């Protein structure tokens, strides 16, 4: 693994996850190649042996099987040595009864630099970033949190499931899905792109299994 920081700018949605070899608590890994065909969540935390980060690792591990059910792996990271990660894992298991089973990257600063995970306005540690990468190695979702705020892992799970459904069914997902105020667990049908399609949609919405407030705002149950 590279030992010096390399700043190439923050990755953007739709970018390929940059190829890198990293040392983790589960051995050396090549990202994203080792997860081809599988989604993964790379999440950074400010430091080992810190209160909020400890609660986050317990929360991620508690939901680990739910992530795996979505064909998604978890990968933690911070600018800490591998020895610190291992000792922290031992502490969590001994004191809290939770065994961390996913890998944690030991970073020298090179990974954080390439991924834009150190924000000068928030100090010299990595922010609480979440990069969600699909099975083709594309970055699909990015969340950033300040050091003071712990993440909501259920929202991360929801986001992954929603994106996978959107990809498979060529639909969009409304706010608060699957418990939306307007459409409940329905999904959004992409808007028509020409006049004929718009007119046809309104005339035949029942036949097509749609419910439309207008030609540009139609929804449907996921199984139709």
Catalytic residues: 53
Q: Give the whole-angstrom CA distance, residue 208 versus residue 81.
A: 57
Structure tokens at 149: 């705020």
Cβ contacts of 195 within 8 Å, gap of 6 or more = none
102: exposed, middle or buried (C-beta count within 10 Å: 0-12, 13-18, 19+)?
A: buried
Q: Which of 162, 207, 212 is nearest to 189 (CA)?
A: 212
Q: Which of 185, 155, 156, 191 is nearest to 170 (CA)?
A: 191
Strand spans (E) along the chain:
20-24, 27-31, 39-44, 72-78, 104-106, 128-133, 139-145, 187-189, 211-214, 217-220
Grouping H, G, I as helix, E, B as strand and the rest as coil, residue 104 is strand
Structure tokens at 151: 């993440």
The separation between CA 141 and the C-alpha centre of its own chain, rounded to angstroms, equals: 6
């Amino acid at each position: 693994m590279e030992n010096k920081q390399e700043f190439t700018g923050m990755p953007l949605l739709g970018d390929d996850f940059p190829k890198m070899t990293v040392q983790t608590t589960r051995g050396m890994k090549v990202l994203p190649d080792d997860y081809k065909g599988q989604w993964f969540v790379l999440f950074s935390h400010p430091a080992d042996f810190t209160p909020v980060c400890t609660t986050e690792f317990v929360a991620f591990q508690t939901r680990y099987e739910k992530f795996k059910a979505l064909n998604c792996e978890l990968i933690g990271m911070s600018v800490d040595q591998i020895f610190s990660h291992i000792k922290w894992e031992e502490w969590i298991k001994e004191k809290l009864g939770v065994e961390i089973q996913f890998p944690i990257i030991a970073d020298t600063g090179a990974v954080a630099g390439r991924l834009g995970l150190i924000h000068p306005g928030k100090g010299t540690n990595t922010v609480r970033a979440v990069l969600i990468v699909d099975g083709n190695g594309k970055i699909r979702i990015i969340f950033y949190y300040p050091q003071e705020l712990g993440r909501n892992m259920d929202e991360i799970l929801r986001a992954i499931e929603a994106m996978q459904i959107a990809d498979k069914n060529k639909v969009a997902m409304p706010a608060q899905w699957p418990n939306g105020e307007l459409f409940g667990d329905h999904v959004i049908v992409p808007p028509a792109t020409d006049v004929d399609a718009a007119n046809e949609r309104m005339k035949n919405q029942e036949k097509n299994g749609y419910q439309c407030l207008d030609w540009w705002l139609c929804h449907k149950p996921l199984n139709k």
